[in-house]
């Protein structure tokens, strides 16, 4: 069983609810960090919450959702412990894990339907990081040079 934190803004709360239920049905422990309705909220707040959950070890993986997936992925990536990848189909989800050791998958609720979102998450969770030549590159992500 994998612990997964999921967070979204107002544009993605319905997709979040569907994905959280689907992940629970698949046997995962899901931490829902909100939001939970259509009232306007600021995606950075939820991206930061998700980043903290990953950094604190509360979750092994995260699912970040907003209208496009862009804003919340930027917010999550402000946390040095996170490597959030915005994906649109299973191949990019697989490569994000294999090559970048991504620990957060970001999706756009206005751009990605429920079945494609499930396919992306399923691939993301089933894929291992390849390490080897990719490890040194991932290590550099936590040590930016001026």
What are the pLDDT digits (tens) for 86-115? 999 999 999 999 999 999 999 999 999 999
From the centroid of its chain, how far is CA 17? 14
Tell me whether residue 67 is annotated as binding: yes
Count of CB atoms within 10 A of residue 111's CB? 14
Q: What is the predicted pLDDT for the residue at 57? A: 96
- Does 67 reside within a domain? yes
Residue 82 belongs to some domain of the structure: yes
* Number of domains the chain contains: 1
User: Is pLDDT at 146 greater than 70 in this prediction?
Assistant: no
The reply to whether 90 falls in a domain is: yes
Residue 26 within a domain: yes
Question: Which residue is it, tokens 């049905």?
Answer: 25
Segment 63-72 shows an average pLDDT of 98
Q: Kindly state the tokens that stand for 13.
A: 């709360």
The DSSP 8-state label assigned to residue 78 in this structure reads: T
Q: Which helix (H) or strand (E) holds 57?
A: none
pLDDT at 139: 76
State residue 103's pLDDT score: 97
Domain with 78 in it:
3-141
Is residue 64 within 8 A of residue 47, CB to CB? The reply is yes
Is 9 known to sit in a ligand binding site? Answer: yes
pLDDT in tens, 4-56: 999 999 999 999 999 999 999 999 999 999 999 999 999 999 999 999 999 99
Is 103 known as a binding-site position? no
User: Is 68 labelled a binding residue?
Assistant: yes
133 labelled binding-site residue: yes
Residues classed as catalytic = 66, 99
Query: Is 146 domain-assigned?
Result: no
Q: Angle of helix 133-141 relative to helix 90-100, nearest 10 degrees? A: 90
CATH number at residue 111: 3.40.1400.10
**Annotated binding residue at 113?**
no
With cut-offs at 50, 70 and 90, classify the pLDDT of residue 132.
confident
- CA distances 118 to 53, 93, 135, 141, Å, are 22, 11, 27, 28
Q: Is residue 60 domain-resident?
A: yes
Q: What pLDDT was estimated at residue 62?
A: 98
Q: State pTM to two decimals.
A: 0.93
Residue partners of 85: CB distance under 8 A and separation at least 6: 73, 92, 93, 96, 100, 102, 104, 105, 106
d(CA 5, CA 52): 10
End-to-end CA distance of the chain, in Å?
Answer: 40
CB 91 within 8 A of CB 34: no
């Amino acid at each position: 069983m994998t612990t997964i934190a999921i967070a979204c803004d107002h544009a993605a709360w319905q997709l979040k609810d569907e994905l959280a239920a689907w992940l629970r049905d698949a046997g995962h422990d899901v931490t829902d960090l909100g939001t939970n309705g259509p009232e306007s909220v600021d995606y950075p707040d939820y991206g930061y919450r998700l980043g903290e959950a990953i950094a604190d070890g509360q979750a092994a993986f995260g699912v970040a959702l907003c209208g496009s997936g862009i804003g919340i992925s930027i917010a999550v990536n402000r946390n040095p412990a996170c490597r959030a990848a915005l994906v649109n189909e299973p191949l990019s989800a697989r490569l994000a894990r294999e090559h970048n050791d991504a620990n957060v998958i970001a999706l756009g609720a206005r751009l990605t339907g429920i079945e494609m979102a499930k396919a992306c998450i399923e691939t993301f969770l089933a894929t291992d990081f390849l390490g080897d030549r990719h490890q040194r590159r991932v290590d550099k992500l936590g040590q930016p040079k001026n």
